Structure 1
Amino acid sequence: MALPLLSIFLFSSLTLFSLTESKLNIDYYNKTCPQFDKIIQQIVVDKQLAAPTTAAGALRLFFHDCMVGGCDASLLISSNSFSQSERDTDINLSLPGDAYDVVTRAKTALELQCPGIVSCADILAVATRDLITMVGGPFYSIRLGRKDSFESYAKDVEGHIARPNMTMDTIINMFASKNLNVQEMVALVGAHTIGFSHCSEFRKRLFKFSQTSESDPTMNPTYVQALQTLCGNNTKDMAAFNDVMTPGKFDNMYFINLQKGLGLLASDQAMIYDQRTKPFVELYAKDQDAFFKAFTHAMEKVSVYQVKLGKMGEVRRRCDIVNQLLVNPNKKIGG
């Protein structure tokens, strides 16, 4: 079954680029900023070595940005006294500062080397890819030339990013609205092979789960006990690795864990029981190469989702503020 599933996925991926997206180019900065790749790689290596959770944070940051209005760095914009941006909605408050910092550092270095040339959106896309590769994940090509958005609206976030308590129907439909099918969804959720989640995101699975069970019966009992100890004081700031076995390595262990009841989030564990997602969980648990190929194509597809080109956006001088606000601080940037 694995070969037909993967073949269908790879065939469909050949048609993922629209005419607009084809204007992006892998060699976009070769002449205007030839040190682009080298500068980002150096920043990424230094940051990941100093803060090992950077890779997971950047991957979440990239995905949260792209799923709301496309890959346009709108999530990087800070709120101001007039309005709240995407960055400060509740679901984005847990995004780690290290993820923002690696983009800021890269932007600062690139502005010194080639001012006004490289967009924050492209920096985020490439830094994320390089960080994934650094922790053992697959390398994939990224088409460049995205522009940064002019605005960021907090009200636009809800309903575009999956939450742990959502049903599988809701999550599948959410991904479908971004032209991502079930296989692509499962591959992308496999990003949980790195990173962590706070107790508040999975605590309901551990205590007073139902009238007949204290904890979620789909979870491994030993795993439950360890998590109950961790989260027993109802401390929201405590966190657990999404992949308890190889938390710092990008591999297929996440899918193997789901088969053993070691899925941390309810929405993740549900994928092993839903007949639409189960075949892909089993495929990726058995074949890491299949997971890497599927993840690569899915990330390539996400990375060109509703990108802004030409006058649809700008190259921000600072990633946290639109250019007009540098001149006019009182301009409203969100709703």
Structure 2
Amino acid sequence: MAISSKLFSLLFLQLMFISSLSNIAEADGLSSRFYQYTCPGLEYTVAKTVALYIKKQPTLAASLLRMHFHDCFVRGCDGSVLLNSTPNNQAEKDSIPNLTLRGYNVVDAVKAVVEKQCPGVVSCADILALVARDAVRMIGGPFWEVPTGRRDGTVSISREALINLPPPFANISSLKTSFLSLGLSVKDLVVLSGAHTIGVSKCSSFSNRLYNFTGKGDADPKLDKYYAVALKGKCKPNDQKSIVEMDPGSFKTFDESYYTLVSKRRGLFQSDSALLDDPDTKAYVVLQAQTRGATFAVDFAESMISMGQIGVLTGNDGEIRRQCSVVN
């Protein structure tokens, strides 16, 4: 089948972008070849183990991606979200924004296999970054080079997660401030928001948009009224347990349809709708909706590499945990 010149040009540009990602992967003391000699079969081992879980439960991909995001936005990508609370400290995983995280068992399983293969070599922070990438790829998402060499942090504080993680009701101003404070761009903000193309949410994370939003018994005017009616059918007032798909119809597949929904004012969270309140983020939403995600896969890969380098510990900082849930 003949390929149009326009499509060929697009494919060529995407290949050029992908090849350039390896250059990004060498920054901040990280390297895509970090374990080349110390644990040469690492990526194969991680992917093989992750596949066992994603094949049985594809929705775990969204959870693992979210876990990586929540890790990096608090103290940097240091695996602190994986640590258990102790009698003297409530850890990040027990903070309100993290109570719905799932997939710790997947990370622990991968760590156990890797420890048998290369004991004391690979950090939990690196494993989480690799697991998130592989899980996304297994449900149709893009591949990206994961630079490794992170070391694990030894501190995890619940209130820091509450302070630093952008809430689902965030407006565009607070979202931009949050991302920019971590060295991420406005483009990274709108691109990484596209992760909401997979996964589900509890009604409690957005039901404020459905009932008495302005104190007059109304729904959020920025939410499509027909979508609001549909959501009310699934989420009754004060519903704390029911869940809905974030990307109805394809919540198990990583695709560009999130942007089509947002452009139609059907983004589930206020933070989704907020992307229409800034000219740059709105332009990106409209572009991806109109072109069926022409550049989304490449953009997402690049933004994930950038996010994965937030506040990393390298060299002699931190440690290599023997178990991801406890410090050595």
**69-78 or 31-40, larger mean C-alpha shift:** 31-40
Tell me the equivalent position of 1:118.
122
CA distance, structure 2, for counterparts of residue 281 and residue 208 of structure 1 = 28
* TM norm structure 1: 0.87
State the AA in 1 paired with 2:325: D
Q: Does 1:304 align with 2:316?
A: no
Q: Does 1:134 align with 2:105?
A: no
CA distance, structure 2, for counterparts of residue 40 and residue 106 of structure 1 = 6
State the AA in 2 paired with 1:230: K
| Alignment CA distance shift 1:219-1:303 (3 Å) | same
**144-153 or 58-67, larger mean C-alpha shift:** 144-153
Does the residue aligned with 2:162 lie in a helix, a strand or coil? coil
Q: Does 1:179 align with 2:183?
A: yes
C-alpha displacement at 1:212, in angstroms? 5.4
Tell me the equivalent position of 1:283.
287
Tell me the equivalent position of 1:221.
225
Q: Does 1:196 align with 2:213?
A: no
In 2, are the aligned partners of 1:55 and 1:135 still within 8 Å (CA)?
Answer: yes
| Alignment CA distance shift 1:30-1:188 (3 Å) | same
Tell me the equivalent position of 1:317.
322
Cα displacement string for residues 22-48 of structure 1 (whole angstroms, at most 9, x for unaligned residues): x32212222222221121111111101
In 1, are the aligned partners of 2:26 and 2:32 still within 8 Å (CA)?
Answer: no
C-alpha displacement at 1:196, in angstroms? 1.4
CA distance, structure 2, for counterparts of residue 184 and residue 117 of structure 1 = 31
In 1, are the aligned partners of 2:25 and 2:305 still within 8 Å (CA)?
Answer: no
Does the residue aligned with 2:233 lie in a helix, a strand or coil? helix
Q: Does 1:160 align with 2:126?
A: no
Cα displacement string for residues 114-172 of structure 1 (whole angstroms, at most 9, x for unaligned residues): 11111101110011101111111110101111111122122322332111222211111
Does the residue aligned with 1:157 lie in a helix, a strand or coil? helix
C-alpha displacement at 1:93, in angstroms? 0.9
Tell me the equivalent position of 1:87.
93
CA distance, structure 2, for counterparts of residue 117 and residue 305 of structure 1 = 21
CA distance, structure 1, for counterparts of residue 214 and residue 306 of structure 2 = 40
C-alpha displacement at 1:19, in angstroms? 8.5
In 1, are the aligned partners of 2:72 and 2:308 still within 8 Å (CA)?
Answer: yes
C-alpha displacement at 1:208, in angstroms? 1.6
- Runs of 4+ more than 4 Å apart: 16-20
Aligned length: 312
The one of 35, 39, 46 equivalent to 1:33 is: 39
* TM norm structure 2: 0.89
Q: For structure 1, which runs of at least 5 residues remain unmatched after alignment?
A: 324-335
State the AA in 2 paired with 1:157: A
Cα displacement string for residues 60-84 of structure 1 (whole angstroms, at most 9, x for unaligned residues): 1000000111111011000011111
CA distance, structure 2, for counterparts of residue 260 and residue 17 of structure 1 = 34
Tell me the equivalent position of 2:67.
61
**153-162 or 136-145, larger mean C-alpha shift:** 153-162
CA distance, structure 1, for counterparts of residue 298 and residue 42 of structure 2 = 26
In 2, are the aligned partners of 1:245 and 1:253 still within 8 Å (CA)?
Answer: no
In 2, are the aligned partners of 1:283 and 1:290 still within 8 Å (CA)?
Answer: no
CA distance, structure 2, for counterparts of residue 213 and residue 155 of structure 1 = 33
The one of 226, 249, 253 equivalent to 1:249 is: 253
The one of 53, 75, 88 equivalent to 2:81 is: 75
State the AA in 1 paired with 2:127: I
Does the residue aligned with 2:201 lie in a helix, a strand or coil? strand
Percent sequence identity over matched residues?
Answer: 37
Q: For structure 2, which runs of at least 5 residues remain unmatched after alignment?
A: 1-9
| Alignment CA distance shift 1:228-1:18 (3 Å) | closer
In 2, are the aligned partners of 1:68 and 1:157 still within 8 Å (CA)?
Answer: yes
In 2, are the aligned partners of 1:244 and 1:262 still within 8 Å (CA)?
Answer: no
Does the residue aligned with 2:295 lie in a helix, a strand or coil? helix
In 1, are the aligned partners of 2:171 and 2:271 still within 8 Å (CA)?
Answer: yes
| Alignment CA distance shift 1:123-1:232 (3 Å) | same
State the AA in 2 paired with 1:192: H
State the AA in 1 paired with 2:94: D
In 2, are the aligned partners of 1:57 and 1:95 still within 8 Å (CA)?
Answer: yes
C-alpha displacement at 1:234, in angstroms? 2.5
State the AA in 1 paired with 2:77: C
